[in-house]
Chains A and B, each alone.
Chain A
Amino acid sequence: MIVKLTTKLLTATAIVAATSASAGDLEVMHWWTSGGESAAVSELAKAFDATGNTWVDAAIAGGESARSVMVSRLIGGDPMGAFQFNHGRQAEELIEAGLLRDITDIAEAEGWKDIINPPSLLDACTVDGRIYCAPVNIHSWQWIWLSHKAYADAGLDVPADWDEFVAAAPMLEKAGKLPLAMGQQGWQQSGLFNVLFAALVPNEVFLSVYDDKDAEVATGADVGRVFAAAADARAMASGSNVQNWNDATNLVITGQAGGQIMGDWAQGEFAVAGQVAGTDYSCLPGLGVTELLSTGGDAFYFPVLSDEAEIAAQSELAALMLRPATQVAFNLAKGSLPVRGDIDLSTANDCMQKGLALLADGALLPDTNQLVTPDTAEQISTLFVEFFADPSITVEDAQARFANIIAIAE
């Protein structure tokens, strides 16, 4: 909490500083505040500063609070120079309202259409044939991170899939370890559910629930299995009382917890802690059950501005973000996958190579952010906040409420 408040204060100072910035300075807002994330963002800032412009950093801890600050500044007529968003349906209305800059000309000049892989990333930035955002990385949620130390201490082998992980939980508990680390925040809890959903049942079920919003499928037996697995996760995470995802990751890094289900951004934390994939920790895409990735990710949007110098700086930043050198430096630090398939990432570690291979094979799913509105996402997140906090909520009850949310979703 204190850390959060401090970051907020620092952010406030950053905003104040930014308003007095001169032309060519671009205020960039994002929510990359953990160790690995800020290492990655400083790579972007370095590259941007090298072009003669100045990156004015405005980081806000926590995606949810950051998004509300960004939206209220945009609507209130006080736009920043550029901001990070999860592309998909979150920005839909901002684009409709004409608040965001059309960057199709830059995309065409840089040939984004040919280099961005998978093309669905650019589609998520496209509204009515015009491009509004620059995708910078691919993030996938479908990973479980396992601590070798925790399993060694308990005298166990590191699990190879979700079922083994669940089976090993009682032994870990006996050894005084927490089987599953999980931060007590809605987005982490509903994210974990979506990972179980993507990994444990066939893709068609996932898509008919999230894409077609078929409430009947959501009440079915397949989704029932996902909820049963979520109840297992709830039992395994019952001793986990950290809030932030990186605090939960830290439990895995230090061997206090067996594993954590978290997106590939967790890898940046392992890297900062000096851990080596394969010897200190393992990663299983798709929980080792169905190996696939969802292609969510981060993108930068550029608000409509009036100052010529700032507009030029925006254009330069947008073009820069997809250049090979920036992509390599940024993604290696962040642990995410690059948005272009034509660059050399042989220096990437074990886990990233697994991700790159899946990307090349096309074992991909769309990210839930691209399928459901923030409204539906918030309802699902509230459901799981409640579900994970209260063991008295039955699997059947939770599933029925989930189906209701899907039924009214758009």
Chain B
Amino acid sequence: MSSRRPNQLFRNKSAKIAAIPMIVAALFVFVGGTIWTIVYSFTKSGLLPRLQWVGLDQYERLWATRKWLISIENLAIYGFCMLVLVFVIGFILAALIDQKIRFEDTIRTVILYPYALSFVVTGLVWQWMLNPEFGIQKVVRGWGWESFTFDPLYNSDIAIYGVLIAGLWQGSGLVMVLMLAGLRGIDQDVWKASRVDGIPAWKAYIFIIIPMMRPVFITTLVIVVTGIVKIYDLIIAQTGGGPGISTEVPAKYVYDMMFQANNLGQGFAASTMMLVTVALVVIPWAILEFGGSKRHD
């Protein structure tokens, strides 16, 4: 084997040289930084990192902290609802636009536009929209429905759904555009064949078109999931974690610990847990996705 292809390492030399900066960055910045963070999460680092071992103390404290547990719960609620709803809404919008409607460009732009706004702007806009004194509630009451109440951001139990509304408003457009691209990539003959067979349109979407769009779905999934895990700025702009601590999220916990409580060790422990959570999702998926395709080659 090796005698037939002795220069495996040196093939495509220029491509490999071009990739060196990225490889170095990935190794030192990402891998190195990750290992450093994990190591220091077992120390008693305060304002500055220092190697004073405390074993699993930081993790024990982390999992005994209400703020962290609420953060995890919020991320789970937000993540699950966001994932399901953004796909449903995005796909339905794409399917509707794909019906060769008029003014398609205009409608597409309008729906995609929120994605061009930063999370800070999105958060502020929805903070005002959901404010009972001059937002949606006030408008509906102005129409005569005096008892109408809609103030999710002021109710600890449902505040995270107020954030979800903003997240959906911002993210649906992108999913729609990606899905639309996927739909346009479907050969028209598939549609013709399904019509000849007398299959209703909704059945054709679910059983034929969606399975054919698997690569688009996977790309979209990765984009949406990374957006969910790193959610921070939307919370800061919209609720600041309130009311109380009802909309705290893990990334905010890490920031608060590292930069306000001057407790790096605790912040590192929390970010390590975030990494573990992501790894638990990504590794099985990567094995399925890439491990599987290798066998087919």
Contact = CB atoms under 8 A, between A and B. Distances in A.
Interface of A: 1, 64, 67-68, 71-72, 75, 90, 93-94, 96-97, 184, 373-375, 377-379, 382, 385-386, 388-390, 401, 408
13 contacts: A1-B127, A72-B259, A90-B262, A93-B46, A97-B48, A375-B262, A375-B263, A382-B67, A389-B242, A389-B243, A389-B245, A389-B246, A401-B66
Given A1-B127, A94-B47, A184 B259 contact: no
With most chain B CB atoms within 10 A of its CB, the pick from A94, A97, A184, A378 is A378
Interface string B237-278: 100011111100000000011011111001000000000000
A390 to B, nearest CB: 5
A96 B262 CA distance: 14
A382 B245 contact: yes
B156 A75 contact: no
Main secondary structure of the interface of B (DSSP, over half): loop
Contacts of A93: 46-48, 262
Given A97-B48, A375-B46, A64 B244 contact: no
Nearest to B253: A382
Interface in B174-227: none
Contacts of A408: 61
Q: In this complex, which of B260, B261, B263 has the most chain A Cβ atoms within 10 angstroms of its Cβ?
A: B260
Contacts of B48: 75, 93, 96-97
Contacts of B67: 382
B245 A385 contact: yes
A374 B262 contact: yes
Contacts of A378: 256-257, 260-261, 263
B286 to A, nearest CB: 34
B124 interface: yes
A71 B261 contact: no
Nearest to B57: A408
B124 A1 contact: yes
Nearest to B257: A378
A378 B258 CA distance: 11
Given A1-B124, A93-B46, A408-B61, A385 B242 contact: yes
Contacts of A71: 47, 259, 262
Contacts of A97: 48
Given A1-B124, A1-B127, A374 B261 contact: yes
Nearest to B262: A374
Given A97-B48, A386-B245, A67 B260 contact: yes
A149 B66 CA distance: 42
A97 B45 CA distance: 13
Contacts of B260: 64, 67-68, 374, 378
Interface string B39-68: 000000011100000000000010000110
A314 B190 CA distance: 77
A65 B66 CA distance: 23
Contacts of B263: 374-375, 378
A100 to B, nearest CB: 12
Classify chain B's interface size: 20 to 34
A91 to B, nearest CB: 9
Contacts of A1: 124, 127, 237
Nearest 3 A/B pairs, CB to CB: A389-B244, A378-B261, A68-B259
Contacts of A72: 259
A288 to B, nearest CB: 30
Contacts of B241: 385
Highest count of chain A CB atoms <10 Å: which of B47, B48, B156, B246: B47
Contact of A385 (B244, B259, B261): B244
Contacts of B156: 389-390
Contacts of B47: 71, 75, 93-94, 374
Nearest to A241: B154
Contacts of A375: 46, 261-263, 266
A327 B293 CA distance: 75
A382 B48 CA distance: 22
Contacts of A64: 260
Contacts of B261: 374-375, 377-379
Nearest to B241: A385
Nearest to A94: B47
A75 B50 CA distance: 14
A72 B257 CA distance: 14
A338 B265 CA distance: 38
Contacts of A388: 244
A378 B262 CA distance: 9
Contacts of B246: 389-390
Contact of B262 (A373, A385, A386, A389): A373
A184 B124 contact: no
A390 B154 CA distance: 11
Contacts of A389: 156, 242-246
A75 B156 CA distance: 37
A93 to B, nearest CB: 4
Contacts of B262: 71, 90, 93, 373-375
A58 to B, nearest CB: 18
Contacts of B244: 385-386, 388-390
A75 B260 CA distance: 14
Q: Which of B243, B244, B261, B262 lies at the interface centre, i.e. has the most chain A CB atoms within 10 A of its CB?
A: B262
Contacts of B256: 378
